[in-house]
């Protein structure tokens, strides 16, 4: 077995989040529907990016990258695999992860699509209108999956969104193979109820075939996976299918199901939920790090819930506080 170099390695869509306030009338003039996420092409991405004010904020994003950032903030050794282009926004993405202490060594895409971006326009009333260009992040292939990196991670964690592009799907399965070859765990998140609707049979096969060891889901995704409105029924089903399932329940906290045992913890209270974006990603960071370091299910769940509570208390999908320090203050270090 390769020596552990990373606690958690995550694989997913590499997207730069670009956030900027806009003046009244901009959304309407550009033909957008306020508060809606629009998928856009290359020309539209370049046009809108050029129109964004210089006060824009640019940070690395994407679900799995958010999880890696959370692991690093908790004091863990994190790595990320995802595709960006050899362009200025690719530089932004790579530099940002490096500043966070996340290892990132995926080769850049040359002479192809641009780095993926999610341009988030903030109206005066705080409404967020998103325009997402997937570009280079959909060009992840098996060639980007390095056996030495995967084998050196205690847990490899992937997002269900990787199941959309065919080549990324192959990369996902190969990464799980490399993890198991080194007797490491492979994990994935269902990502989104609509993602589950598209790939329900394939996701169930990934779990039942033991290609995936740990499954992450929120209540809506889990119910969608088993096509039921009964959470208890869905929990009993995932208990039969998966080695370990971690389920987030919003204000009700989270639960883990393992070997017939169900462990639940309450959510950490927050004064006000400001932005739920990234809550699941940060929960995964805390839970995965706990599992990688041999914590009990109860402790890992609490660390996940604590990380989620921090990120929903402000705008943005990345922690603003040092999560390692926050964990220590709550007696969850280690």
User: Which residue(s) pair with 248 in the sheet?
Assistant: 218, 254
Q: Domain segments of the chain: what residues? A: 6-13+62-113+139-329
Would you give per-residue pLDDT tens digits along the chain (334 residues)?
Answer: 667 899 999 999 999 999 888 888 899 999 998 888 889 999 999 999 999 888 888 989 999 999 999 999 999 999 999 999 999 999 999 999 999 999 999 999 999 999 999 998 888 777 788 899 999 999 999 999 999 999 999 999 999 999 999 999 999 999 999 999 999 999 999 998 989 999 999 999 999 999 999 999 999 999 999 999 999 999 999 999 999 999 999 889 999 999 888 999 998 888 888 777 788 999 999 999 999 999 999 999 999 999 998 888 777 778 877 887 888 888 886 5
CATH architecture group of domain 6-13+62-113+139-329: 3-Layer(aba) Sandwich (3.40)
CB 247 within 8 A of CB 255: yes
Name the nearest CA neighbour of 284 among 218, 210, 223: 218
Residues 6+ away with beta carbon under 8 Å from 125:
none
Cα(248)–Cα(219) distance, rounded to whole angstroms?
A: 6
CB 94 within 8 A of CB 80: no
CB 65 within 8 A of CB 82: yes
């Amino acid at each position: 077995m390769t020596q552990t170099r990373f606690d958690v390695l995550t694989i997913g869509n590499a997207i730069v989040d670009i956030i900027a306030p806009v003046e009244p009338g901009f959304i309407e003039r550009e033909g957008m529907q306020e508060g809606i996420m629009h998928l856009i092409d290359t020309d539209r991405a370049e046009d809108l990016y050029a129109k964004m004010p210089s006060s824009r904020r640019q940070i690395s994003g994407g679900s799995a990258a958010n999880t890696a950032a959370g692991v690093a903030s908790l004091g863990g050794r994190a790595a990320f695999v995802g595709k960006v282009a050899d362009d200025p926004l690719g530089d932004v993405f790579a530099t940002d992860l490096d500043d966070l202490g996340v290892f990132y060594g995926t080769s850049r895409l040359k002479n192809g699509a641009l780095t993926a971006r999610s341009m988030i326009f903030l109206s005066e009333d705080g409404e967020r209108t998103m325009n997402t260009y997937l570009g280079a992040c959909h060009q992840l292939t098996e060639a980007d999956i390095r056996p030495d990196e995967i084998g050196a991670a205690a847990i490899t964690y992937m997002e269900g969104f990787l199941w959309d592009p065919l080549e990324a799907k192959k990369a996902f399965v190969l990464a799980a193979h490399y993890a198991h070859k080194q007797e490491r765990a492979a994990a994935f998140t269902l990502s989104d109820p609509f993602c589950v609707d598209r790939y329900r049979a394939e996701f169930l096969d990934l779990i039942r075939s033991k290609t995936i060891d740990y499954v992450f889901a929120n209540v809506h995704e889990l119910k969608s996976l088993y096509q039921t409105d009964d959470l208890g029924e869905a929990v009993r089903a995932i208990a039969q299918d998966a080695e370990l399932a971690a389920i987030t329940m919003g204000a009700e906290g989270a639960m883990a199901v393992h070997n017939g045992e169900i462990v639940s913890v309450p959510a950490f209270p927050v004064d006000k939920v400001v932005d739920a974006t990234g809550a699941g990603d940060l929960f995964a960071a805390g839970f995965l790090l706990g599992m990688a370091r041999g914590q009990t299910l109860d402790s890992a769940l609490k660390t996940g819930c604590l990380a989620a509570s921090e990120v929903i208390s402000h705008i943005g999908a990345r922690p603003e506080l040092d999560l390692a320090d926050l964990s220590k203050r709550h007696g969850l270090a280690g």
